[in-house]
Chain A
Amino acid sequence: NAGVTQTPKFRILKIGQSMTLQCTQDMNHNYMYWYRQDPGMGLKLIYYSVGAGITDKGEVPNGYNVSRSTTEDFPLRLELAAPSQTSVYFCASSPRAEANEQYFGPGTRLTVT
């Protein structure tokens, strides 16, 4: 049981490039989330999904896009990378909103230069 997996682990992007951060969970959870963590800061919610085909904005959605075509996958897309998007990105899933016991992936460290 792999839980929540994220790829890649590390990535360096040039300003203006685009990329997709992959997230997959094998626990059949309906709820999935993308967070970013900047140094010395807490986790900020970027986007979340309550099920396949349904996504919604979180606290800091600008510059990102998501899709949820299957229960398992929740990719995060950066279209025009900016230095302000340098951060560690965490994907998480949970079985239901009420429990709020989210299972996190190991993170992707992204640097935009």
Chain B
Amino acid sequence: DQQVKQNSPSLSVQEGRISILNCDYTNSMFDYFLWYKKYPAEGPTFLISISSIKDKNEDGRFTVFLNKSAKHLSLHIVPSQPGDSAVYFCAAYGGHTDKLIFGTGTRLQVFP
């Protein structure tokens, strides 16, 4: 039972363009969502989060949008840079669980 889904295993974007990474969830009790970034041979690092009381949170080039009615969130990276090439994990928290539930990840490649 995959409560957090990232249906695109990979995404390729040209440098300077927008990267949009998507995430869907099934548990309507989730009330906090996070994005983590992972480089090869390193642990994930926290990128940005959003509470369910908001529909948008912005931090520099990174913006997360939350659509609660659709149980969908997305991460926008503008402009994309080659250093953004990594695996991005969506994670959710709340409801009956006090633990983070991770998606399967999307590998982003930003090419020159």
Q: Is A90 an interface residue (CB 8 A)?
A: yes
The A/B interface has a contact count, at CB < 8 Å, of 49
A42 contacts B41, C-beta separation under 8 Å: no
Interface size class of A (residues with CB under 8 A): 20 to 34
B43 contacts A4, C-beta separation under 8 Å: yes
Q: Is B59 an interface residue (CB 8 A)?
A: no
A41-B104, A42-B102, A58-B99 known; A101+B9 contact, CB < 8 A: no
Contacts of A51 in B (CB 8 A): none
What number of B residues sit within 8 Å (CB to CB) of A? 23
Closest to B5 in A: A42
A100 contacts B34, C-beta separation under 8 Å: yes
Cα A45 to Cα B6 with chains together (Å): 18
Within 8 Å by CB of B41, from A35, A102, A107, lies: A107
Cα A33 to Cα B69 with chains together (Å): 31
Q: Could you list which residues of chain B lie within 8 angstroms of chain A, going by C-beta atoms?
A: 4, 6, 9, 32, 34, 36, 41-46, 49, 89, 91, 93, 98-100, 102-105
Q: Could you list which residues of chain A lie within 8 angstroms of chain B, going by C-beta atoms?
A: 4, 33, 35, 40-45, 48, 58-59, 90, 92, 97, 100-107
